[in-house]
Homo-oligomer: A and B are copies of this chain.
């Protein structure tokens, strides 16, 4: 009988107004024996409905800060109940569980030697066998089996990595003067997180937002209240921000350029 403390991190578009994520957690606990204790950590359940790309990004921003051994359950699953595969991705330190729809695209790029498995529904899927709530009826039992350290090959089979579905996250677009950036994510503070990584900033540059130069600062607090500024955020990506305000409210999604000096 397995015992001890385990961490399960959850990332879904289930929202928090319904019962869905609570039921998934209950169902996981129901499969376990008494000595095994699970600490559920919600990354977020407010991924925009059906936005697999956003979930892939938030997972990428998060996973590396969790303890080794953490199991991640990531469900943004517009294809639930169709032929899409349910998969398990194992890296040396982490296990990722979710639908095969690209939600793990950035994980595939981070780990060279991960292993991929397809969950066998005939071994995992449990009554009431819904076609719309695999979080409860298929993924929750699979997570429980992983927590119980059941032999993976009794409920999953190895699959080829090249068969996995991937979403493309394009780099900034190179131009004669520098780059044109895309906004990858808008957070609750209205910060616009772009695809321009600090690693690309190999020489001095200025940031142009809607044809106007803005200051590059070290942190929000170094801008005047209400000033639009650029800074490298917590994942080393360039953000457009407003000190104590929302860049998104002021600018929506603006045109953003990097111009070499």
Contacts and interface: CB of A to CB of B under 8 A. Distances in A.
Interface string A53-78: 00000100110011110100000001
Copies of the protein in its oligomer: 3
Chain A interface main SS type:
loop
B41 A40 contact: yes
Nearest to A190: B49
A16 interface: yes
A84 interface: yes
Interface in A1-60: 4-5, 7, 9, 11, 14-20, 22-23, 25-27, 29-30, 32, 34-35, 37-46, 49-50, 58
A81 B221 contact: yes
Interface of A: 4-5, 7, 9, 11, 14-20, 22-23, 25-27, 29-30, 32, 34-35, 37-46, 49-50, 58, 61-62, 65-68, 70, 78-82, 84, 128, 130-133, 136-137, 187-189, 218-222, 231-236, 239, 243-244, 246
A41 B22 contact: yes
